[in-house]
Structure 1
């Protein structure tokens, strides 16, 4: 054994030494997290996370004098846990140098892999986050997000949501892939020019994460299909590029009590917010509170007319995906009541506070839903 000169030093042993002692009946405790242990470890070890062990060592170790060996992935956590046990009065504790990695490299017997290997490998970095963990990852897997538009905003949003493990994505877009899309719409490829965007997106998303269920609807959203497309969603992402679709989505989300993650881009700038008035009437604003009336068409040209720097939709779509994940997991402070502006040329973000409009015809508390209107005429000022 190697010994340190400090009075509470922890003995360190090699995996081979640990294996021999284990055969003699010495307790070996694997202090990694459950998702790490599911991928295999030292055969015959007892799995107890470091936090659980340090919180209640007496539930695992019979007496203060019981010999015990601790192992983790590479040796750091087990050494720290062993130090804590020594300081708590346990007198026969040692740590396995090199941890499970060295144990495996030396050809010592390992336990069989448990459970869903793909799940634990694919989402290992999420599983390491205490704020997410296995329970949060399961919530993402069970979630359904509707994305209206599979273009500049929908592409990065859908891509990162699929990568994050959101189990079900609804994509609605009636357009086909055009070569001019490829400068910013990263779900699509040159080989799929002419293919419906939702089908091209489905191919890309399932190639990234085959476990994601992609419901592709080659439809233009309208009053007749909006509720069918978003009714089962936990979160709705606005990836539309026109005002009629945005007002329609807003009204439907208020009516159905769905959080709407809004995004828009123009040339070198973009903005994003969360409109959640359906669930927080009177407190959170809706899109109509921000824009009671649409701007005239000449003051808000679309990307085809005004152009857009290709990375700007990527930034905004990524922020939309971030907000959707936060809403699903109940993490952090969503952009509810806040409009985030992004200026790519200045590389600057700024924030505008938003408030619910007490005169809003859609989200004012106690106001009955007025029904869907002719949004194209409304936005044309007729």
Structure 2
């Protein structure tokens, strides 16, 4: 949510920020609605003052026996009462319209975000690892002999339809090991607090984390109104909604491993092979609630937390800063980490780490009390994948593949796999 005062003070800067995203100017429309709302509020206050004055004069007219004046004033009080009610209703309607308009306008990019129209203009900022060299043509994850029997897309379709999968046996175990490894690393090394949040949330949680009202079609809603979370960013971030935190409590650093659900609206035909893009998937999420002065440094910290996981797993990756035209709706600045997938001979996104500034905090009224005193201020919120479990499984399988279809697994997973480090061609762990 945007600060209406900031738009009033510098409408040109507001429109310039939107233009960098490729969006049309909105300041004039916002300010026209704001002015109409403020005019109605002023009119209601004026009418209230007139009503109060007339109410005081009614008694005086009655006391001096001026029946005509008494009747006139009493009628005026009734008229003003009705006028005030009408003006307040109109002001509330304008306020709701203004709030809705502001809720549909994307966050403004930070000054250091590169300008660009789409993903082709994202900027590579880091690269790690040596790309594996095979003496055979590398396969995609679902083509590997060791994986094919345990990654059942036909069963997923039988149970749920397209873009679902049933994992079995050793592959299911490796998938679980990856999530446990990520969680343990975030808690033990990165100092995040583990959570196990609900995956069904109310409208308010989706709205507060900028998923509503504009992007409702991207998520699933139950028949009784709950939303199935697209990521645990939603419950973790919204957990501080309406709070006034002590400055000393910041930053709050949280992590959770949950199921995630996305309708993938508008993505027909994209990434339909394998389990790269599913309606149901698992992700280990990182969320930080910070002091405004610390949010940029916190984003860099979160980015390194995610990058180091891939380094531990031995998966080559590159990090790119998203340009203005490729950032998400609520993001002020975003870095994507893309893992190398030999089967596709390309890098694919496995994590996205964003700061929203105070954009989400305004929507959910999350603030902190400055230690030096003064009025509460809005916190900054950040979120990032650490990591997408299914995509990490894909990366581990494809980078560790052998000519016979077996897979050499990362050593860091051994403690979670009873010491076993190889997925044999027949799909067993040894």
TM-score after normalising by structure 2? 0.20
The higher-RCO structure (CA 8 Å, 6+ apart) is: 2
TM-score after normalising by structure 1? 0.22
Give the structure with the higher percent helix.
2
